[in-house]
Chain A
Amino acid sequence: QVTLKESGPVLVKPTETLTLTCTVSGFSLSNTRMGVSWIRQPPGKALEWLAHILSSDAKFYSTSLKSRLSISKDTSNSQVVLTMTNMDPVDTATYFCARILDYTFDYWGQGSLVTVSS
């Protein structure tokens, strides 16, 4: 059974760095055709893709947020970590991690609501 679970702080202050961890089970981060992506959704708004990392360790970032994002994986511990620097209240959102199979986000975590406020 494939599962993904996000973990990280519920509240961060402006200018701080956010670190989120996605712990996966039911598949290996070294499987070809697979990767893990981070996607966020501000309250009441649309989904926004942030970054993904593939089994080859290739990394891809949203053009508009690239300077603030970093994604990495720990295959042995089945975890993918996203860091976002210089957090702002507009970054308040539910952050999802999702498995990529070929072109599809086929399994999603439940999401982690992060609020940015002083």
Chain B
Amino acid sequence: NFMLTQPHSVSESPGKTVIISCTRSSGSIATNYVQWYRQRPGRAPTTVIYEDNQRPFGVPDRFSGSIDSSSNSASLTISGLKTEDEADYYCQSYDNDNHAVFGGGTKLTVL
């Protein structure tokens, strides 16, 4: 099995852009789709990006996703940061046995 590694925390100012990385430990990041979830304190996660770079209905285009085979990682980019974006963000993918794998989560602070 593989692991997805995320930075423990990131911080940035309102209006700026932040990038959260998610690095796959083995196997190609491009093999299985990557999803990104936002979790506010005390709440269930919600999807902000699915299938590498697709935004669900209602998620603003300030949120974008990408994968980079050279670094074997996925990234979530949030531009025009707002204080309401403060949350924990998790990446998620699957292995070839259809087992889901979550990253360790990144705490985003907007200060």
Could you tell me which A residues sit within 8 Å of B by CB distance? Answer: 37, 39, 46-49, 52, 58, 60-63, 96, 98, 102-106, 108-111
Contact = CB atoms under 8 A, between A and B. Distances in A.
B75 interface: no
Interface in B44-66: 44-47, 50-51, 56
B35 A104 contact: yes
Contacts, number: 59
Contacts of B44: 96, 98, 108-111
5 contacts: A46-B103, A61-B99, A63-B1, A96-B44, A104-B47
A39 B92 CA distance: 12
A36 B37 CA distance: 17
Nearest to B52: A103
B47 A106 contact: yes
A109 B46 CA distance: 10
Contacts of A96: 44-45
Interface of B: 1, 32-33, 35, 37, 39, 44-47, 50-51, 56, 90, 92, 94, 97-105
Contact of B105 (A46, A58, A61, A104): A46
A87 B97 CA distance: 26
